[in-house]
Amino acid sequence: MKLNLTDRWKSNLIWIVILLIFCGVIYGKQQSVNHFKSQINKFTLENLAFEEEVNKKGERIISQEQIILSQKDAIEQGLLKIDRLKKVKSQVNIVTQTKIDTFIVSHTDTIVEYIDGGAFLKLPQTYNYNTEHLNFGAEVSKYGLKVNNISILNTSTITIGYKGNGLFKKSTPIVELTNSNPYVQTNSVGNVVIEENKNLITNPKVWGGVGLLLGLIIN
């Protein structure tokens, strides 16, 4: 295919192509800046906002809007730490606290002796407490209380996806954390999803199209 153009039109078209490339680069950079500002506004450096709810199973569900940044920006903002892995796609930082409410471990019939109307504990004695979320053993002796084999069971599930906002509304990118143990409370959550900025200057498809167009104009 060959375009039959005068030298004047060829020159004008070349300058138009150059101008369009320049405008595209400026627009791309401005879009990157606007995207960066919108993501930074989602959080403070002290703590990212998150929502918490407890479902019917007693599981604590934490949800937080995704922070989408380039790897460079994420590192500069202190949201991404890279140690052993390369080409990191996302990272979630969670600070939890396991807080157990008051509970009672009952005596068995054989460890309490009644003397002159008073109840005395026969020593040493052992106790075992086993529930779905907490297991431990303990021994009471004349030296004091010894607790051993404490086991706090919890299943954490992290899901990265989109939350629907109703018909014709844009979905919100969300990070969702589910803790099966109601004793596990979340103090803070931080997340970052790596998405490198699309640069027209380094896009081979763009330059391929520009080269084809310039070739048609010049020839």
* 68-69 and 184-194 beta bridge pairing: parallel
Nearest to 68 by CA among 85, 87, 45, 43: 43
Q: Are 129 and 29 contained in the same domain? A: no
**Distance of alpha carbon 172 from alpha carbon 66, whole angstroms:** 8
- Reported as a single tens digit per residue, the pLDDT across 160-175 is 998 888 888 888 888 9
**Distance of alpha carbon 36 from alpha carbon 31, whole angstroms:** 9
Q: Are 202 and 124 contained in the same domain? A: no
- Are 191 and 66 in contact, with CB atoms under 8 Å apart? yes
| Structural domain range at position 147 | 112-152
Q: Is residue 1 part of a domain?
A: no
Total length of the chain: 219
Q: What is the pTM of this model?
A: 0.61
Question: How many structural domains compose the chain?
Answer: 2
- Reported as a single tens digit per residue, the pLDDT across 125-160 is 888 888 888 998 888 888 988 988 889 999 999 999
Amino acid at 32: S
Amino acid at 95: V
